[in-house]
Amino acid sequence: MDSERNGGTAVCPGSYDPITMGHLDIIGRAANVFDNVVVGVVDQPVRKQKTIFSAQERVAFIEAEVAEYPHVQVKPFDNLLVEFAREHGAKAIVKGLRAISDFEYEFEMNQLNRKMAPDIESMYFMAAPEFSFLSSSGVKELAMFGGDISGLVPDRVAARLKEELRR
């Protein structure tokens, strides 16, 4: 990790159901740039089906992976993203972009968030090529049909996912 960071605080928001290696790559890269990173875990995503894991468990999965970074915190939230960012004094919201298919949704979110909070800048980190195909929903689908998800999510997440989907 780089020792020189001076970007203030950034929020990395998401449903993280569950966290993937692609998410962790974005969080790690944000942690290289910003003084503090708050990973915001949406309690109950509005546009998605019920989550597989509770917010508490999704937070715990991420905490275990970022434990070595004292300037990265993980918090659940159930209010507007921009309010959550304000509560933490964040200047920026950082998200990952994988493909053009992400763009339309993120563009809409960007405009809504900008309207409410023009002072908070949304920034987009391009997914690393090795993660550009990776999504939580893809991982869940693979796991559901017995596919190999090792290397796509942290080991403890893979184990819990298999356990959960076996039910």
| Footprint of ligand PNS (CB under 6 A) | 13-15, 42, 45, 48, 78, 80-81, 109, 112-113
What residue has token string 């605080």?
A: 9
**Closest approach of Cβ 56 to ligand PNS, in Å?**
16
**Closest approach of Cβ 146 to ligand PNS, in Å?**
25
Q: How far is Cα 45 from Cα 72, in angstroms, rounded to an integer?
A: 22
| Residue among 45 and 138 whose Cβ is closer to ligand PNS | 45
| Residue among 54 and 146 whose Cβ is closer to ligand PNS | 54
Q: How far is Cα 50 from Cα 148, in angstroms, rounded to an integer?
A: 24
Per-residue b or e along 145-162, where b marks 16 or more CB atoms closer than 10 Å to that residue's CB: eeeebeebbbeebbebbe
| Residue among 79 and 162 whose Cβ is closer to ligand PNS | 79
CA 60, distance to chain mean position in Å, is 13
Radius of gyration of the chain (CA): 15
Question: What sign does the CA torsion over 30, 97, 112, 16 have?
Answer: negative
| Residue among 137 and 146 whose Cβ is closer to ligand PNS | 137
**Closest approach of Cβ 62 to ligand PNS, in Å?**
13
**Closest approach of Cβ 71 to ligand PNS, in Å?**
21
| Residue among 42 and 92 whose Cβ is closer to ligand PNS | 42
**Closest approach of Cβ 3 to ligand PNS, in Å?**
29
Please list, in sequence order, all residues whose beta carbon lies within 8 angstroms of the beta carbon of residue 143, skipping any fewer than 6 positions away.
149, 158, 161, 162, 165
